[in-house]
């Protein structure tokens, strides 16, 4: 198999800007995020920034589409094709919490932060954030529905309502853990969510 073609330098520059912008927005929020800090951390010139993004808002939209969306999708896409959704969900949540707990305690969830900050004031942000949440909900609901059809999950629950509950638990736990600066909050909610998922088994 031929080796993958190396990324073009403009693509590398753009990706570096997105990564540093994601970090800055995650820490500070979009409105307080500093373009100067993003340029400093990325090592990119202001001219290169404006070559790739018309303005700060365009950069923010790209961060939502290309950084926040994959961050969220890592928590649910593997469940869609899972043979055992409950076992996969429990393993995946434990893995992601180990990787992300420190940042969650410090900054919360990047999606929820932007929902609270930008969705009420900017329609472009609101539409993008809503799309991420809609896809998360529909992906979870589909995975739960498939589990029911395979006879692995009991039929006496609504997959859409269950998906709403799971998302609310996850996002709520991140907010509470950030507020209280308590990993125990994350662990407690995730144990409760795990118990709920186990009760869905047929």
Per-residue pLDDT of 147-165, as tens digits, reads 999 999 999 999 999 999 9
Full set of structural domains in the chain with CATH = 1-64 (1.10.10.60), 74-202 (1.10.357.10)
User: Which residues, in sequence order, are CB contacts of 74 under 8 Å at separation 6+?
Assistant: 96
CA dihedral 71, 56, 46, 38 (to 10 degrees): -40
Q: How far apart are CA 138 and CA 112, in angstroms?
A: 18
The pLDDT, as a whole number, for residue 2 is 46
User: Cβ atoms within 10 A of the Cβ of 109, count?
Assistant: 24
Residues 28, 19: Cα–Cα separation, whole Å:
14
Confidence class for position 8, pLDDT limits 50, 70, 90: low
Q: Is the pTM of this model over 0.85?
A: yes
What percentage of the chain reaches a pLDDT higher than 90?
94
Q: Is pLDDT at 76 greater than 50 in this prediction? A: yes
Instruction: Specify the DSSP class assigned to residue 160.
Output: H
């Amino acid at each position: 198999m031929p080796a993958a073609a190396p990324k073009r330098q403009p693509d590398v520059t753009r990706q570096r800007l997105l990564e540093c912008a994601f970090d800055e927005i995650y820490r500070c929020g979009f409105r307080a995020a500093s373009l100067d800090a993003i340029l400093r951390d990325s090592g990119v010139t202001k001219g290169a920034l404006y070559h790739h993004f018309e303005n700060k808002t365009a950069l923010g939209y790209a961060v939502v589409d290309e950084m926040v969306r994959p961050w969220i999708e890592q928590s649910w896409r593997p469940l869609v094709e899972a043979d055992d959704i409950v076992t996969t969900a429990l393993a995946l949540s434990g893995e992601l919490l180990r990787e992300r707990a420190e940042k969650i305690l410090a900054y919360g969830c990047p999606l929820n932060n932007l929902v609270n900050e930008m969705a009420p004031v900017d329609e472009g942000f609101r539409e993008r954030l809503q799309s991420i949440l809609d896809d998360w909900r529909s992906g979870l609901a589909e995975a739960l529905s498939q589990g029911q059809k395979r006879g692995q999950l009991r039929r006496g629950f609504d997959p859409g309502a269950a998906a709403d509950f799971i998302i609310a638990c996850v996002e709520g736990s991140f907010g509470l853990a950030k507020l209280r600066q308590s990993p125990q909050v994350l662990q407690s909610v995730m144990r409760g969510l795990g118990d709920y998922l186990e009760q869905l088994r047929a």
